[in-house]
Chains A and B, each alone.
Chain A
C-alpha cells in the first residue's frame, strides 16, 4: 500500500520535525544541527533539497508552513528561545541556476525566556497569525497586522499554562479559535493535533503521550444566540492505544481528518481509522526503515466505553481571551 522512498537528509544531528506545505509538494525538515532544509518534489517524485540554512543557535524543534496566500513562508522555533519567520525570495538568478532557493529571516520572536517548543500558523481565515509555546508554559499568539509585512508581528495574547508546554495545535474550525488544555493527561505530552474539521459538528483531538489517545470535543448544547461565554465542550476519550511500546512522539492527521498517523519509540508509524461505530482501529503499520512489519493485522484495543469513565475533562485554558473569534 505504501512505498518507502528514503531521502538522504544529510542533517548533522537528529531531525525533529517534518512538515508538508499546503499543496503537499514541498517539505521542510528541521534538526538539532540548527538548520532547516526545504525539499521540493520533482516531476518524477524525487525530493530535492532546494535550500538548507542555519536558522537558530540551538536545536530547531519544529518547522511549519504558512498558507501560501501569504507567500512561501516558514516558521521555526528553537531551543535558543526564539521563533523565527522565514520567507523565500525568488529571482536570485544565481541560486536558480543551482536549483537553490533563498530564504531570508523576516522576524525573530524573542519573547520567550525558555526553549520555544512549538510554533503553528493559525488557520488562514484568522489572518496571518501564529502561536508559539515554550518550556515554561507560556503560549503566545502573534499577529502580523499587515500580511504584506512579515517583519512586524505584534504579541496579541500571552497565556500562562503553569505547566511546561511541548506542543500546540490550532483548532481548524471555521467558527472558533480556542486554546484548550486537557488536564487529565498526566504523562508528558509530546505532540497534539486537532483533526482537520471539514464539516463535523465536533472536534477530534489526537494526543501523543505514553500512548496514542483520541478525544472528541462535542459542544454542549451550543447556544446559537451566542450569549458570549466560551462554548463548553463535552470531552470523551474515544480511543487509547499503547501499541508503540512506550513513548509516542508524533501524531498527524490526514487531510480529511479521518486517518491518524502516530509514531513512537518503536520506530513505527501506525495508522488509525475509525469505523462507522467510532471504533478506532489500526489499519496499517509502517516501519521506519521500510522493512515489512509482522502482524499487520494487529489491532488496538479501542475502548469506547472509557468515555463514561472520564467525563468532562476540564477545558482549563483561558478560552475567553483568545477564544471565540468568529470568522
Chain B
C-alpha cells in the first residue's frame, strides 16, 4: 500500500488531476469524507462504514476497509473523519459514543487503530488536525467541550468549554511548541521541533488535572535558535465544568493563518475564537447565526476570513482580522447549511450542502449571494460530506451522502442555475401597455453579444465553462420598463369609451342602433358603426317602420313586421342596383303592408309575449322615425356598401377582406312558398335559410339584398349570429354582447345558451377590469342568461343598525322592529332619506349623502349629536 501511495503522490507532484464525474455505491450511508493529501484517496466514514477508496480516472476502487474486528463497536460508528494533511498514514475519527480514535495506516496489522480517547461524554461532532502540527488533534463534542490532544499522550492536553469559566487563569502544564510553520525548517529539524514539546508529568486522574511544575529540563540540549522559536503552551488547572451547562459544539477548525487560533461553532448560534494556549476563556465570541451554527471553514488563503453556515439557511463570511468580527458576505441558501468548504483557487467561491430536505451541493460566489454559481444534483439523499479533492485544484469535488454513494463532481459538469434562470419578464397590461424586465446585458447593446447557441436539452454537456480566473462582472441586474401605449394606437381606450357611451336599452331599437353607430363612428370604428347601421336596416327598415305604424294598436316590437319578397337570389342581384332601389322600396312597402295585418298578430303571440329589453319600441315612436330615414338612406348608398371601400378594411388591421359572396340562399321556389304563408314559424324559416348559408357568407351583401328586396329579419338571423361570432372571435366581445342585448329576442334564440353565457361573462369580466361597474351592472341586469343575471343578486345583504336603538335591524325595510321608527332618517335635515343613504358604521347615524358630506366639511362629529367621531371612507 505504501508503495502505491507514494507513486501516486509523485505523479501528482507535477501534473494536474484527471478524472470524470463518477460515483460509486457504498455499503452504507456516509456521514463524512476526507481526502488524503495525495488527492488520490478518499476515506468515507459512517455509522457502519469506514473505508478508503482510491480515486482512479474512471472509477473509485475500494482500497481498505478499516472496520475490522469481530463485533461491531460503537467506537467505529463515525460522525466525522479527518485525514491528516501532513501525514498520509494518519487519520482520526469522531465516534457517536464520544470516542475519538486515531488510525495509523502504517501499522502492519489488519487493525489500523492507533489511539482511543474516551474523554467526551456525548457524540463527537468534529475532529480536526492542526494544519501544521503533526500531533495536535482537536475535537468538538455535543457535550459542550472541545479537547486538544497530543497524539503522543494518552489523554487530552487541554479542554475548552463553550461556556467561558469565571475563574482566572492559573499556571498549569506547559507544552513547548514551535509556532513557526514547520516547513521553514529542514525535515530533520521539524521533527526535533515537534519532539521538543515537553510532556509534563501525567495528570493523576482522567478528566481532572492539577497544576504541576513544568520544568524546561527537556529543552536542554536544543540549539538556542530553536529555543527562541518555542513558546510555552499552558493549560488550565481547572477541570471541565459539569456537563450539561455548555452549548453543544458543532464544528472546530484550526486557523490556517494563525498558528494558535481555532474557531468553534455552537448550537446557540455563537462562534468562538480560541487561543490554543488559553483554555480558560475564549479570545472572542460573537453571535453569528440565528440558531445552531453547524459548520465553519477558514479561507485557504491567508485572509482571516471565516465562513460559517447555520440552520438559519445562511452562510456568512466574517473578517476576523478586525477588532470585531465583521460580516463581509451573506449567502442565503434554501436549506440549513451542514457543511461549508471554500473552493481552492477561487477567492469568492464556496461549496455548501444541507443536512435536511435539500440533497444538492451548491457552489456560491459570495458576491452574488442569491443564485448559486453551480449546482450538483447527483445525490438522492442528504449530502453529508464534501471535500475538494486537491487544495489547489478548483474543479474536483468529492461528496458522500446518506444515499450510500460516493461521488466525484467535475465542476464543468455542474448545472448552472443562473444559466437556466429566465432572464426576462413580460406582461401585457390592461390598456395595452407592456411591462418588460430584462437582464441588462440583453438590452444594453446589440453589438458584440452572441446569441445563445447552446442546446438546452443537454445542460450537462454543452456549458460555458465557469472560469475561476474570469473577473467577476458584478451582480446581474435587470432593467425594468413599462411601454405605455399612446392613446388611440391600439390601446383599449376605445373599449372604455364605447362601453360608457353605448346605449343598450330604454330606447327604440332604431334609435339604439343609430346611437351606437354614431358612437362607433366617432371613435373611428367604422366597421362597427356600419354593423350597427346594418342591424338597424335589417330589424327596423323604413318599410317595417311604416308597416308597423299601421299596426300601432299592437304596440309591440318592430320585429313583428315580416316583409317578404316573393323571390330573391343573391347572385342575381348586381351590386349596382342602387339607382332602382327607391322604387323597389316603395313597392315593398305596399306589399308588406298587406301581409302584415295578418302576420303581426300571430308573430307577436308567438315570440313577443315575453318582454324584450332594449327593443320595446312604442308604435308612436315609429311614426316619428321618418326623420332618421334620411340619414340611413345615406348610409345605404352603394358606395358605402362596397367591399372595396376602406371602411370595410378592419380598422386596426391592414389586410384585405377575404369575403366573397359565396353561396346563394335557398332556391326561389322554396322561399316563395314560405313567403306566401305568413304563419311560418321563425325556427322553420331559420332552418330553411340556415343550412345553405356558409359561415363566410358575406355581411356586405346584406344592404344590397335588403335594400333591393326587403327580406324578413328572420332571414338574417343566421347572418347576424355569424356576425356576432365573428366579433367575439376577433376579441370584440363587447360588440357581441351589445348587439345581443339590443336585439334581444330577435337573435337570442339562434345562439346557444352556453355561448351567450360565455360572452356575457367575458364582457362583464372585461368591464370589471376597467372598473366600469355601472356598465357591468347594467349588462348583468339586461342579460337574459340565468347564470349571469343572478350575479348581481349575490352578496347583496347589508347589515345595518337602527339609528335610534342602535340594535341590528332584523326585518326588511327601514322600520325598526324594536323602536318602531324609521331608521333611515337624515341626521342633518331630519327627513326620511330616499335614494343614497350614507351612514357611519360606528354610531349608525347617517343621512343624505350630500348633507353628510357638507356636514363633515365643518365638523368631524356625528351630526346627530351623539358625540361620535364619525368615519366615512
Contact = CB atoms under 8 A, between A and B. Distances in A.
Interface stretch (B44-52, B178-186, B651-659, B699-707): B651-659
Given A1-B490, A59-B371, A255-B492, A289 B479 contact: yes
Interface string A46-70: 0100000000011101000000000
A255 B442 contact: no
A252 B477 contact: no
A263 B438 contact: yes
Interface in B441-477: 442-444, 446, 451-453, 456-457, 475-477
A264 B763 CA distance: 32
A253 interface: yes
A9 B443 CA distance: 15
Interface in A175-190: 175, 186-188, 190
Contacts of B476: 13-14, 32
Given A29-B437, A47-B482, A200-B729, A18 B427 contact: yes
A199 B736 contact: yes
A1 B432 CA distance: 11
Contacts of A224: 752
B424 A250 contact: yes
Contacts of B769: 22-24, 255
B754 interface: yes
Given A57-B334, A175-B758, A198-B766, A18 B436 contact: yes
B478 A9 contact: yes
B483 A2 contact: yes
Contacts of A12: 370, 475, 477
Contacts of B484: 2-5, 45
A251 B424 CA distance: 10
B733 A199 contact: yes
Contact of B452 (A14, A33, A265, A269): A265
A288 B477 contact: no
Given A1-B489, A61-B422, A20 B451 contact: no
Given A16-B422, A255-B430, A4 B733 contact: no
Nearest to A288: B443
Given A18-B426, A174-B757, A3 B483 contact: yes
A261 B443 contact: no
Given A13-B368, A198-B733, A198-B762, A24 B436 contact: no
A18 B436 CA distance: 7
A255 B428 contact: yes
B216 interface: no
A18 to B, nearest CB: 4
A224 B752 CA distance: 11
A20 B430 contact: yes
B435 A27 contact: yes
A14 B358 CA distance: 23
A54 to B, nearest CB: 9
Nearest to B312: A57
A165 interface: no
Contact of B483 (A30, A31, A245, A286): A286
Interface string B730-741: 111100100000
A249 interface: yes
A246 B453 contact: yes
A96 interface: no
B205 to A, nearest CB: 49
A257 interface: yes
Most chain A CB inside 10 Å of its own CB: which residue of B333, B436, B476 = B436
Given A4-B481, A252-B426, A255-B769, A277 B456 contact: no
Q: Which secondary structure characterizes the binding site on chain A?
A: loop
Given A3-B486, A29-B480, A277 B658 contact: yes
Contacts of B757: 174
B799 to A, nearest CB: 16
B389 interface: no
B425 interface: yes
B362 to A, nearest CB: 10
Contacts of B483: 2-5, 269, 286
Contacts of B481: 4-7, 288-290
A188 B458 CA distance: 10
Given A1-B490, A14-B421, A45-B484, A254 B428 contact: yes
B177 interface: no
B145 interface: no
B811 interface: no
B478 A14 contact: yes
A81 interface: yes
Contacts of A57: 313, 332-334
A13 B332 CA distance: 13
Nearest to A188: B456
Contact of B766 (A246, A255, A279, A289): A255
A289 B434 contact: no
Contacts of B752: 224
A250 B426 contact: yes
A173 B755 CA distance: 11
Most chain A CB inside 10 Å of its own CB: which residue of B417, B422, B730 = B422
Nearest to A24: B430
Contacts of B368: 13
B761 interface: yes
B556 interface: no
A81 B733 CA distance: 40
B759 interface: yes
A219 interface: no
B431 A24 contact: yes
A78 B763 CA distance: 34
A276 B762 contact: no
B434 A249 contact: no
A301 interface: no
Contact of A80 (B334, B430, B755): B334
A186 B758 CA distance: 34
Contacts of B417: 59, 79
Contacts of A286: 434, 436, 483
Contacts of A191: 422
A246 B333 CA distance: 31
Contact of B451 (A4, A80, A186, A245): A245
A247 B733 CA distance: 34
Contacts of A252: 426-428, 434
A105 interface: no
A19 interface: yes
B156 to A, nearest CB: 39
A190 B655 contact: no
Interface string B792-817: 00000000000000000000000000
Contact of B486 (A1, A8, A15, A254): A1
A17 interface: yes
A266 interface: yes
Given A18-B435, A24-B769, A198-B759, A34 B430 contact: no
B523 interface: no
B597 interface: no
A15 B480 contact: yes
A99 B476 CA distance: 29
A256 B421 contact: no
Contacts of A255: 428, 430, 432, 492, 766, 769
Interface of A: 1-9, 11-20, 22-24, 27, 29-34, 45, 47, 57-59, 61, 78-81, 113, 124-125, 173-175, 186-188, 190-191, 196-201, 224, 245-247, 249-259, 261-267, 269, 273, 275-277, 279, 286-290
Given A14-B439, A259-B432, A263-B424, 19 more contacts: A1-B489, A2-B485, A3-B486, A7-B482, A14-B477, A79-B417, A187-B456, A198-B728, A199-B736, A249-B422, A250-B424, A252-B428, A255-B432, A256-B731, A267-B443, A276-B650, A286-B483, A287-B443, A289-B443
10 contacts: A7-B482, A14-B371, A14-B421, A20-B429, A58-B334, A61-B422, A249-B422, A249-B424, A263-B436, A263-B438
Shortest 4 CB-CB distances between A and B: which pairs? A199-B728, A24-B430, A288-B443, A256-B731
